[in-house]
Chain A
């Protein structure tokens, strides 16, 4: 995505703490790029972030930029006003292109609920809560 191409702040969010090993993940979008922790030995992405590679046992891990594209593995359209907001919204699980099973729960935006489907190709876009940049996903432009 292009610099400055960010979504307006959504007032309902409960935001993550930005301390510890996950801080880089939540602040990564400041430069418009999504990063996951990656094993320096075997290049396996470790998510959620921990200082142990479950693939090779390595202890040397560091954030690595990913392309930001993935596929919707599953989704739900939420209608219940849990946080007092009556708008419906889409929660999805997105699998990143870089690695089988490298996934996160997120929101799918810029798509009508009726048009949502599993298998939809999506790309990251960041919602600005500086210093947090929340990674949500929208359909890849054709």
Chain B
């Protein structure tokens, strides 16, 4: 028990209302999630001494960031010994990793972590806008993307998927399984945004966004806030439900942190994050009971399956073929709440929330049988990359 991770547990989780065009203020949603997580951790607001969020308060992309940590800090009148908010780090999970480090160092004892989005309300009834559209000019890393009308991660990652299809013979029918699996699981998850049945024909008939990505390969903007409390491990004895222990985090980004300069576009920096995570644990892919893997685009989930070693490089297409292996009753239940494709784009934290629910046995109709003990959560695509192994602590 020398690894820093194991000095921290996720003692509580909470989520606000989640949905399309809620028209509610981001801070209001965040307070809902935060109070729920604090109560679930059997704490009071006054006991929270740490605060962390991703990406912190940034205002240049509508509805993306949620409130900055000072807003939440002040609204709840917190008294903090440590706080952090920012976007540069191991994906969206960096806020959780930061919290784990702060707890392990003794800088804080109970860290409230949150991620809030109001992208659906911000989008309104219009279509999703591209990054950089309407700006006078672009500089920094975006100058290599936006002038070529590559306005979206849909474009940047389509280039990865296309190369994967080219080298390994991956097919749309295989990739569809990520979307179809998500929809099947969402049907058992009442808060999920999209629960009507989806067939392979529906998928193949849907409009192309950026080849090979069709509409159903892309996640759906929603409004909602997810919060959790990362506590010193001793606090596990202070709650009356199982808690999730952070077994290991994967924060590595070995290689160029760039969408287009990453050398092998059939892989992502996820490979290095995953290898790093496994290097910090004695658990192996075969020990994982449930996988909650980022599906901002369906191909990302395939790439994470390969990165994490559930199948070999290039083998994710055959691995998910037919969908039985990744179903709730399959050998590797995947994105059990519907992911972001059918559950809504909570930008990484929906997976965390679901993993903890599953480990606690509280996932209702979609609860994976056999009392899952080990869950893996991954976030991000391209140079945005982080992952985490969680275990159930009785």
Contact = CB atoms under 8 A, between A and B. Distances in A.
Nearest to A91: B150
Contacts, number: 122
A20 B143 CA distance: 12
A58 interface: no
Interface residues of A, number: 38
B211 interface: yes
Nearest to A19: B139
Given A16-B139, A48-B144, A80 B265 contact: no
B170 interface: no
A103 B262 CA distance: 10
A105 interface: yes
Interface in B125-182: 127-130, 132-139, 141, 143-152, 154-156, 158-160, 162-163, 166
Given A91-B149, A93-B260, A105-B150, A14 B135 contact: yes
Interface stretch (A34-42, A63-71, A81-89): A81-89
Nearest to A88: B208
B263 A82 contact: no
Contact of B146 (A14, A78, A89): A14
Interface in B181-219: 207-213
A47 B143 CA distance: 13
A73 interface: yes
A82 B149 contact: yes
Count chain B CB atoms within 10 A of each CB in A76, A93, A118 and give the residue with the most. Answer: A76
Contact of B133 (A15, A16, A83, A89): A83
Given A48-B144, A75-B159, A78-B210, A89 B149 contact: yes
A103 B144 CA distance: 11
B256 to A, nearest CB: 9
A83 B149 contact: yes
Max count, chain A CB within 10 A of own CB: residue among B130, B148, B151, B211:
B148
Interface in A88-113: 89, 91-93, 101, 103-107, 113
A103 B155 CA distance: 17
A22 interface: yes
Interface string B254-292: 000001110101000000000000000000000000000
Contacts of B260: 93, 103-105
A15 B210 CA distance: 21
A79 interface: yes
A118 B163 contact: yes
A140 interface: no
Nearest to A119: B166
A51 interface: no
Contacts of A91: 148-150, 155, 158-159, 210
B130 A83 contact: yes
Given A77-B211, A81-B127, A105 B160 contact: no
A103 to B, nearest CB: 7
Given A16-B139, A19-B139, A83-B151, 14 more contacts: A13-B149, A15-B138, A20-B139, A76-B212, A78-B149, A79-B209, A82-B130, A91-B159, A91-B210, A93-B260, A103-B261, A104-B144, A118-B163, A134-B148
| 10 pairs of A and B residues whose beta carbons are closest in the complex | A82-B130, A76-B158, A16-B143, A82-B151, A74-B163, A17-B139, A74-B159, A77-B211, A105-B260, A78-B210
5 contacts: A17-B138, A47-B261, A82-B149, A82-B152, A92-B159
